[in-house]
Structure 1
Amino acid sequence: MTELKRTDAAPTLEQAFADASCPMRVKGTSPEPPRVDALHLMKLSLIRVVGGPFQFDRDARTIGDHDPEQLLVLSVEQGTVRLSQGEVTSRIGAGRVAICRTGRPFAITPEAECAIRIGLFPRSLIRLPDSRISHLFADLAANEKPSERMLAVLFDEVLQHERVEASAPATYYIDAFLDLVAAHFAEMLQPGPDDVTGSRRSFLLIQTREFIEQRLWDPDLDPQVIADHHHISLRYLHKLFASIGLTVSGWIRATRLERCRRDLANPALASLKISAIGARWGIPNATVLSRLFHEHYGMTPSQYRAAVRNGIEPELQELDEFPAT
């Protein structure tokens, strides 16, 4: 059975980041190196660092030409940390979360001894286009969000596991982490309390997307069904999704394909036929599923499943848009 990959001895901070396919430069002024705990969970790496003061960063020389683009989730457990990327610098206190991209230079600098949690995973696993979230990187929400508290709990609970006897739970840990990161972006995109019109529009967007999630199994789910259910015009529904840089049909398709991808990677569903997985999520035609999956991820469902079964982590192509057709 596959276990969570944890280093037997306490790794150095450089080693933990290198194992996560994200080499860093580490500088420290403390005579004692920071205490590091690292857990590499398929495509998700979780790292906890206690100590300081120190700094770690990635510059143009550290970022290799073929480094996989990842998102770095920084959760501060104790102390205060500065995160800088581009023109944005955020001062992050205990209980707060900020996210940056590893493919662009950044620096993380604790102001004194601290305890921080770091999550690293491929950018392609978050199905939000850059046009909607690029301004959020390295930024801090005005107020603490529920997703920040839940991410801290998930970090701590998973890092405490010495062993996980099967890889099936690992799949769900990854899904939970990715869903919380997506929720954090969604919370940061919410309009302010004084924006009444924006708040109503945001609430309706949440309702329509929840409805889509609940009806993915229905192959007849389309924009007209969604508009009718929420008693709005089809035109207004399209305007709602356009306001966040998405299309309705594109979002339905991308969500279905992501559910299929998760099922294909889940060893608990290894005996389930690919056509049955597609049917679970509203794509009953295996030929159509294969074509859409290849267009979206750059490989067929069978290729993806075979790679995962052989312990290979496929490099999925990253889409910045979700086309309507």
Structure 2
Amino acid sequence: MIETVFDSERLPVGERFASWYEMTRHALISTRVRSEDAADFRASARVIGTNTFQVSTEVVRSPLRADRTAKHIRQSDPEQYLLGVIRTGTHGFSQRGREATVGVGDLVLFDSSQPFRACYEGGAHQMFFLPKAVLPLPATEVAMLLATPLSGRDGIGGILSQCLREILREPAPYRAAEIIRLFDIALELLTTLLAHELHALRTLPPESHRQALLARVHTFIHQNLGDPDLSPQTVAEAHHVSLRHLQQLLATADTTPASMIRRKRLEQCRRALMDPRQSRRAIHAIAARWGFTDAAHFSRLFRATYGASPSEFRVAHESLVGGTTGGPRE
């Protein structure tokens, strides 16, 4: 588990704002940060996470504006979704031409691959960072919910909000393996929340049928990854469309049926190899669990995708889990 802690009160006044900028650039995401109180900047933060997920809690006592520009994206894009959870205060966010003012209990979603602005007048918020690839919903549909206030006070949003709060509880009551499981739960809750919100939106746009089919295809593939017989043809048949129609549908999301199945299976295997609870589980068993029937073929695909064999990846991750640091992640 990786941890970063920052408190401006521990630094000389003249170093606080610059140190905050460096911390957020390394541990969170690169933005252009400005504050009218830079000379006496006051803020604190704690970031905890794995190589896949991070969650932060930030208390900003000075007015602050953070802009992620096209230049930042060209220089470095982690290809993440960022989910903000407002704990105190009122904050402003904008992306894709939408502007939202969010208050206590609200949730708001961003895409790291598109410019955005966040304005804080003072208050506390948490941020959940996750790779876009692990969210089993079409990016074209998720884009409809960016910079849009979502409720985190009750229902699924409320459970998600509480889950993220638990990950950051102090003193930390959870072991690394339990925090990894909480991250998995947070992903499932976020998927459910967004799918619920999108269901309400799909009745509005003219192309709702295509969008709904795309969402069903994503969900079907995600739910059946462990079936070794899952294939583009079986996906097409399950949705009563031709294979050609399915290929055309997924081309709008810049992928193919086979590529989507392979990518999602590899991602599930990668997450399993990072899970301390599965450290004694044979790699070929993990591969088979997610539909790979040929261990050698799986190993070649994994290395081509992640730059290391499954066993090398597991060993490298095990050396990180359990270690913490008080400084920024490199």
Common fold by TM > 0.5:
yes
1:168 aligns to 2:177 (yes or no): yes
Using the alignment, how far apart are the partners of 1:128 and 1:231 within structure 2?
Answer: 20
**1-side partners of 2:145 and 2:239: how far apart?**
33
1:17 paired residue number? 24
Which AA in structure 2 matches 1:139?
A
Change over 3 Å in CA distance of 1:140–1:64 after alignment to 2:
closer
Q: Does 2:82 correspond to 1:72?
A: yes
Q: Does 1:5 align with 2:3?
A: yes
TM-score normalised by L of structure 1: 0.72
Q: Which moved more, 1:168-177 or 1:55-64?
A: 55-64
Rounded Cα–Cα distance in structure 2 between residues aligned with 1:199 and 1:101: 22
Deviations 1:116-140 (A, max 9, x none): 222335556557787x379558532
The SS at the match of 2:87 is strand
Residue 317 of structure 1: aligned partner: none
Taking a change above 3 Å as real, the CA distance of residues 159 and 220 of structure 1, as seen in their structure-2 partners, is: same
The residue matched to 1:249 in structure 2 has which SS?
helix
Q: Does 1:40 align with 2:38?
A: no
Query: 1:95-106 to 2 correspondence within 5 Å?
Result: 95-101=105-111, 106=116
- Residues in 1 aligned to 2:190 and 2:42: alpha-carbon distance in whole angstroms: 26
SS at match of 1:100: strand
* Count of aligned pairs between the two proteins: 306
**Rounded Cα–Cα distance in structure 2 between residues aligned with 1:242 and 1:213:** 18
1:309 is matched with: 318
- Is the 2:157–2:193 Cα contact (8 Å) retained in structure 1? yes
Return the structure number with greater relative CO, CA threshold 8 A, min gap 6.
Answer: 2
Asked if structure 2 preserves the Cα contact closer than 8 Å seen for 1:72 and 1:102, the reply is yes
Deviation at 1:46, TM superposition (A): 2.4
Cross-structure match for 1:320: none
Aligned 1:1-325 pairs, distance under 5 A: 5=3, 7=5, 10=7, 14=20, 17=24, 20-22=27-29, 25=33, 27=35, 29=37, 36-43=44-51, 44-50=53-59, 52-58=61-67, 63=72, 69=78, 70-84=80-94, 89-101=99-111, 106-110=116-120, 112-121=121-130, 126=135, 132=140, 139-140=147-148, 144=151, 148-182=157-191, 192=201, 194-195=203-204, 198-311=207-320
Deviation per CA, 1:129-166, whole angstroms, max 9, x where unpaired?
Answer: 87x3795585326x658664443222222222522553
Q: Closer, same or farther in 2 for the Cα pair 1:124/1:66, shift >3 Å?
A: farther
> Unaligned regions of 5+ residues in structure 1, if any?
313-325
The answer to which of 24-33 and 275-284 deviates more is: 24-33
Contact 1:47 1:118 in 2 (8 A): yes
Unaligned runs of 5+ in 2: 10-16, 322-330
CA RMSD of aligned residues (A): 4.1
Deviation at 1:175, TM superposition (A): 2.4
The answer to whether the 8 Å contact 1:276/1:284 transfers is no
Counterparts of 1:210 and 1:123, CA distance in 2: 15
Please state which structure has a larger fraction of its residues in helix: 2
Cα distance change of structure 1 residues 161 and 210 upon mapping to structure 2, 3 Å threshold: farther
Identity %: 25
Verify the 8 A CA contact 1:275 1:286 in the aligned structure 2.
yes
Partner of 1:316: none
Distance 1:133 1:301, change over 3 A: farther
Taking a change above 3 Å as real, the CA distance of residues 170 and 64 of structure 1, as seen in their structure-2 partners, is: same
CA change 1:268–1:190 in 2 (3 A) is: same
Return the alpha-carbon distance in structure 2 between the equivalents of residues 124 and 204 of structure 1.
Answer: 19
- Note closer, same or farther for the CA distance 1:67–1:28 as it changes in structure 2 (3 Å cut): same
CA contact (8 A) 1:291 1:300 kept: yes
